[in-house]
């Protein structure tokens, strides 16, 4: 009798187990059914283009006829070898690094400073917040054209812009902001010690023309960064400040020991997003730099990886889609490496409240 009851229990247990597995299976099916539309969109518009670009990078193809490139155009990793041995690539890579460093350091610093000011109970604060956010919703193409007009030099390209007009009003000589290929560090050193001072190329810094474009990028993006910083500041409990003030903390100490540690998640988010945006920036550089667009004037100092990609794909037929896809894949690897570095070495130091 005992053996029969044991057998019944085993059978019922197996049936219950099959029932649980069946319910779990259909729950998984239901979950995948919900995410399937988003997954299909990601596969079509994200993962497939990455794979397809990698396939194109292994071919020397100029105009693609059909879905796949002709097998006769396959060159293996020759495009990568040619790219990594091309001095234009390394100059564009250095320009991209300078552009990213400039926009990140200056943009985040200015945005944090403005967010701290705009978080105070100031009369008419809504108007100030709107004014600082306006550049972010304006056309970047129009902004680039206006920026080019502001910094234009009085030469054969037309009359001088507003900045040079202000300089001349104060008795200063006009400057060719967008036509100066020398780095700002080199310009600063030579202005102090004379033009005869030789400055190594790696110490010259970004060109004055690229710095003007960096200012445009900062002016454009700072409104978005301010809004995000203000959201982070609003999430910091006011009780912490009150308790710190009771203990005698004021000013810098409040920022150092309360605001900054609790704002690190917001700062880290903006750091990651801004890094990706800086490496992918195209419009401000293409529109603002000296004509013809995409030429990298002056002397290639405004050629970034995205400009180089555009030139290879659409302007110079001796490079074509295969070479441009190689540039895109190298940029993709650089961004992945930067994201991993930020997550592993910076993200783990973020203090979450």
Answer for the pair 118, 132: CB distance below 8 angstroms, yes or no.
yes
Q: Give the pLDDT score at 14.
A: 58
DSSP annotation string for 278-320: HHT--HHHHHHSSSSTTS--STTTT--HHHHHHIIIII-TTTH
Q: Which two tokens stand for residue 303?
A: 């050629």
* pLDDT the model gives residue 299: 87
Can you tell me the distance from the alpha carbon of 328 to that of 308, in angstroms, rounded to the nearest whole number?
Answer: 10
Query: b/e per residue, 65-93, with b = 16+ CB within 10 A?
Result: eeeebeeeeebeeebbeebeeeeebebbb
In the block, residue with structure tokens 């910076």: 346
- CATH superfamily assigned to domain 86-349: MetI-like (1.10.3720.10)
The pLDDT of residue 7 is 60
pLDDT at 325: 92
Which segments in the chain show pLDDT lower than 70? Answer: 1-19, 155-159, 316-318, 348-353
Task: List the structure tokens of 39.
Answer: 């997954």
Q: Sign (positive/negative) of CA torsion 28, 29, 35, 36?
A: positive
Tokens (6 digits) for 163: 């900045």
Interval 182-228: pLDDT, tens: 889 888 888 888 777 788 877 888 999 999 999 999 999 999 999 99
According to DSSP, the residues that pair with 59 across neighbouring strands are 74
Structure tokens at 151: 């910094």
3-state secondary structure of 74: strand
pLDDT at 154: 72
pLDDT at site 155:
66
Residue 280 CA to residue 307 CA, distance in Å, equals 10
- What six digits make up the tokens of 192? 């102090």
Please report the pLDDT score of residue 158 as a whole number: 55
Q: Is 304 helix (H, G, I), strand (E, B) or coil?
A: coil
**pLDDT 10s digits, 7-30:** 655 555 555 556 677 778 788 888
150, 167, 174, 307 from 162: Cα distances, Å: 5, 9, 11, 27
pLDDT for position 92 = 94
Question: What local confidence, expressed as pLDDT, does residue 218 receive?
Answer: 95
- Among 189, 158, 185, 186, smallest CA distance to 174 is for 158
d(CA 296, CA 324): 16
């Amino acid at each position: 009798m005992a053996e029969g009851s044991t057998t019944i229990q085993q059978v019922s247990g197996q049936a219950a187990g099959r029932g649980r597995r069946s319910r779990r299976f259909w729950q998984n099916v239901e979950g995948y059914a919900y995410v399937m539309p988003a997954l299909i969109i990601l596969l079509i518009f994200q993962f497939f283009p990455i794979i397809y670009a990698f396939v194109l990078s292994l071919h020397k193809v100029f105009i693609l006829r059909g879905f796949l490139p002709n097998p006769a155009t396959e060159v293996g990793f020759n495009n990568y070898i040619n790219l990594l041995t091309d001095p234009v690539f390394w100059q564009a890579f250095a320009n991209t690094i300078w552009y990213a460093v400039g926009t990140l350091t200056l943009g985040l610093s200015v945005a944090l400073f403005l967010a701290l000011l705009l978080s105070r109970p100031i009369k008419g604060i809504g108007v100030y917040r709107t004014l600082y956010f306006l550049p972010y919703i304006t056309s970047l193409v129009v902004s680039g054209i206006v920026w080019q007009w502001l910094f234009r030099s009085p030469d054969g390209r037309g009359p001088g812009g507003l900045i040079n007009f202000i300089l001349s009003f104060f008795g200063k000589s006009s400057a060719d902001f967008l036509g100066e290929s020398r780095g700002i560090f080199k310009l600063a050193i030579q202005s102090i010690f004379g033009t005869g001072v030789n400055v190594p190329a790696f110490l010259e810094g970004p060109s004055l023309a690229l710095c003007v474009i960096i200012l445009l990028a900062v002016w454009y993006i700072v409104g978005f960064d301010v809004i995000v910083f203000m959201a982070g500041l609003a999430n910091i409990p006011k009780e912490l400040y009150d308790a710190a003030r009771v203990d005698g903390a004021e000013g810098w100490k409040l920022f150092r020991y309360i605001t900054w540690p609790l704002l690190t998640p917001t700062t880290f988010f903006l750091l990651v997003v801004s890094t990706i945006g800086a490496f992918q920036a195209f419009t401000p550089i293409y529109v603002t730099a000296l004509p013809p667009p995409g030429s990298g004037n002056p002397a290639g100092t405004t050629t970034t990886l995205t400009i180089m990609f555009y030139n290879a794909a659409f302007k110079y037929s001796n490079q074509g889609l295969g070479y441009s896809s190689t540039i895109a894949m190298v940029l993709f690897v650089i961004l992945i490496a930067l994201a991993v570095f930020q997550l592993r070495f910076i993200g783990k130091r973020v203090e979450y409240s």
